[in-house]
């Protein structure tokens, strides 16, 4: 069974203790049909938590940054299922990435969590047997490998796409996100150089996408003020 990724939208962050570096929220949600026509059923994580959760004999479920196994950012202190979904409480590391993540949580910029797992048991519901891909799949049991804090787009070179085709609610959410990021950049403290450059990269692309909605003519910038996205990305990588 292949490694799968599922994201949860809506800013499911319950609490942030900046003094202790502890964050709690939800890695996954139960019962809703996601964009892949999949449903995570309550109980699907039970066996993984018992075998590899933070209270088990072999704790192996990781808290990662954007599904990168080379970038663990915290140690899970609690992992459990409740009526809503997969609840977690994690103490973020004192590494540069851990500190950056804590700042992004505090500023409300991180607005999504995601899980990496393998599906073990599932059921398919099909309305039309002649359309095998037109189905809703309910996962009954999964092998949970990790939960991730996610803030940037999956492709770091294109953190925002398709704004012209987005609905008003999505555009409003994107504009609010831009405001939070610009506020953090103006403060200019607490972030590593890597995080600062990556935030500037995303801000530049969001501004470009949003401006394209209100004007057919590109806004004119002086050469010194024009954000050099390629140069910023080269510095980051």
pLDDT digits 0-9 by tens, 73-130: 999 999 999 999 999 999 999 999 999 999 989 888 887 898 999 999 999 887 656 6
Instruction: Give the global pTM.
Output: 0.72
Same domain? For 93 and 191 the reply is no
Same domain? For 175 and 142 the reply is no
The encoded tokens of residue 50 equal 């018992």
Reported as a single tens digit per residue, the pLDDT across 133-191 is 678 899 999 999 999 998 644 433 334 445 556 667 777 877 887 888 888 888 877 78
Distances (CA, A) of 73 to 22, 25, 110: 11, 15, 14
Sorted by sequence, the CB contacts under 8 Å of residue 88 that are 6+ apart come out as 24, 25, 26, 27, 63, 76, 78, 79, 147
Same domain? For 109 and 185 the reply is no
Residue pair 205/229 in contact (Cβ under 8 Å)? The answer is yes
Same domain? For 185 and 98 the reply is no
Mean pLDDT, residues 33-60: 94
**Residue 120 domain-assigned (yes or no):** yes
**Least confident among 47-56, 152-161, 173-182, 227-236:** 152-161
Provide the pLDDT confidence category of residue 35 given band limits of 50, 70 and 90: confident
Q: Cα 22 to the chain's mean position, in Å?
A: 17
Same domain? For 32 and 146 the reply is yes
Same domain? For 107 and 9 the reply is yes
Mean pLDDT, residues 199-227: 65
The encoded tokens of residue 14 equal 């319950």
Backbone dihedral angles phi then psi of residue 106, each to the nearest 5 degrees: -60, -35
């Amino acid at each position: 069974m292949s490694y799968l990724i599922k994201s949860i939208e809506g800013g499911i962050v319950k609490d942030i203790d900046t003094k202790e570096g502890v964050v709690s929220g939800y890695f996954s949600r139960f019962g809703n049909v996601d964009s892949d026509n999949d449903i995570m059923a309550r109980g699907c994580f039970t066996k993984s938590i018992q075998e590899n959760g933070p209270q088990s004999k072999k704790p192996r479920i990781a808290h990662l940054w954007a599904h990168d196994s080379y970038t663990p950012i915290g140690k899970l202190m609690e992992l459990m299922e409740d009526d809503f979904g997969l609840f977690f409480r994690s103490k973020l590391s004192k590494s540069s990435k851990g500190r950056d993540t804590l700042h992004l949580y505090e500023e409300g910029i991180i607005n999504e969590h995601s899980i990496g797992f393998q599906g073990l048991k599932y059921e398919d519901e099909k309305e039309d047997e002649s359309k095998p891909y037109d189905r809703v799949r309910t996962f009954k049991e999964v092998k949970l490998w990790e939960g991730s804090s996610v803030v940037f787009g999956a492709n770091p070179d294109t953190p925002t796409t398709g704004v012209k085709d987005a609905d008003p609610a999505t555009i409003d959410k994107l504009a609010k996100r831009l405001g939070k990021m610009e506020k953090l950049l103006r403060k200019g403290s607490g972030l590593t150089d890597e995080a600062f450059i990556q935030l500037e990269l995303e801000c530049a692309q969001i501004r470009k996408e949003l401006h394209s909605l209100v004007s057919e003519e590109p806004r004119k910038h002086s050469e010194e003020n024009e954000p050099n996205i390629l140069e910023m990305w080269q510095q980051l990588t």
